[in-house]
Amino acid sequence: MLKFGTDGVRGVANAELTPELALALGRAAARVLGGDRFAIGRDTRRSGPMLEAALCAGLVSEGVSVDLLGVAPTPEVAWWSVTSEAPAAVVSASHNPFPDNGIKLFAAGGRKLADDIEARLEHELQRLLGGAASVQADAPTGAGVGAVRTVSAAARSGYRAGVAGSLSGRGLAGLRAVVDCAHGAASVVAPGVLADLGVDVEVIHADPDGTNINAGCGSTHPQELARVVAERSADVGVAFDGDADRVLLVDATGELVDGDHIIAICAIDRHERGVLAGDSVVVTVMTNLGFRLAMDKRGIHVVDTQVGDRYVLEELESRRLDLGGEQSGHVIFRDLATTGDGLLTALQVLDVVVRSGRSLADLAAEAMTRLPQVLRNVRVAERDPAIVERLSGPIAAVEARLGDHGRVLVRPSGTEPLVRVMVEAPTEDEASAAADELIEAVESLGGG
């Protein structure tokens, strides 16, 4: 059975993530999350309607009525959960290739599920798939079966208005942007919102056919976007992933502006305006050292978490901070949304561009300088959670040599017999040499 990861369940549709599993998950969600109403949105994958139907059937069989949002970005589904105070689900595998699909769940109020709730869901799902308690003695019948309602795009206009409203009445007139929708859920929302704010928009990869989501486009493949931006002399390129919860940008020269730069630009802008909560940002351990040095220079505190946007959000909430995210472009503005939102993030950066009167390239260059980063995987005979402790000597030696101008991160994979070695240093050669040294140390302890 598929296990809950940091973003719900995910696997190859109709092989690992089957209609039977989706049906059981719908029933488990109804029993564990409670309430009498639920919303479901999906991205543009061919398998989406199949899994949506199965998930919906599980919910209504437990007496829960379902609002079907159809193709909708993940953050719009979270917004619906917030405004309706009801749980919700997104059928999407985000940035994964087309054959995959997934189901991510939100608790009422648009929040990702707490660990204890996920554990209860997994337990109930196992019971259902195992045949135990598959039908409750008091299963609803007749009018007790949940109703299904298809929600029109017009009825969901509040999300679009809310995202645009994050600019407090300001517009983005004068900007020319190329928008890459990854043939995904952004296709139905992003171009219109940007155009309504005054952006001169050229749209690419917004013709989903069920099989082309993320295929050579979007935030995982921004090369064509960079080429089009340069060819059209646009000011900026905007690249979404399949479910539009993350975004990467391209400046007028065709250079990629990743999540580290996006967070840096927004953190510095908020800091200078006196509205950066706690004068702090939350990022993961994979965030480039150049970001950390840039924040330190400006008096902005950096809080580290393990990899995964859910951990970023947990730190933001526990510390009452507002801005954080990942290098991948999954950025959270906790004062504006309950989850990562690619469109919201793009608007926040473009707002800085317009208010400052500066180009995105200038803002990104001033915000931070990326240090060369070398990331390598070393196969080992078997997973060893204690391997980092056993490597403490070699790691300390490399760290001492790099000092404040470099960084080392060695961590075992959580799922494979691999050790991930990451080194950042002032030059590519220094980073590669340090990584080679650490790889040799890993292999001496039993590499595969």
Which residues are known catalytic residues?
94
CB 16 within 8 A of CB 67: no
Q: Are strands 373-379 and 418-424 parallel, antiparallel or unpaired?
A: antiparallel
> The dihedral of CA 392, 397, 398, 402: what is its sign?
positive
Question: CA–CA separation, 268 vs 381, rounded Å?
Answer: 45
User: Of 80, 269, 52, nearest to 167 (Cα)?
Assistant: 269
User: Of 433, 321, 416, 328, nearest to 374 (Cα)?
Assistant: 433
Residues in Cβ contact with 155 at an 8 Å cutoff, skipping those fewer than 6 apart: none
Burial status of residue 381 (CB atoms within 10 A of its CB: 0-12, 13-18, 19 or more)? exposed
Q: At how many degrees (to 10) do helices 259-273 and 342-356 cross?
A: 50
CB 280 within 8 A of CB 297: no
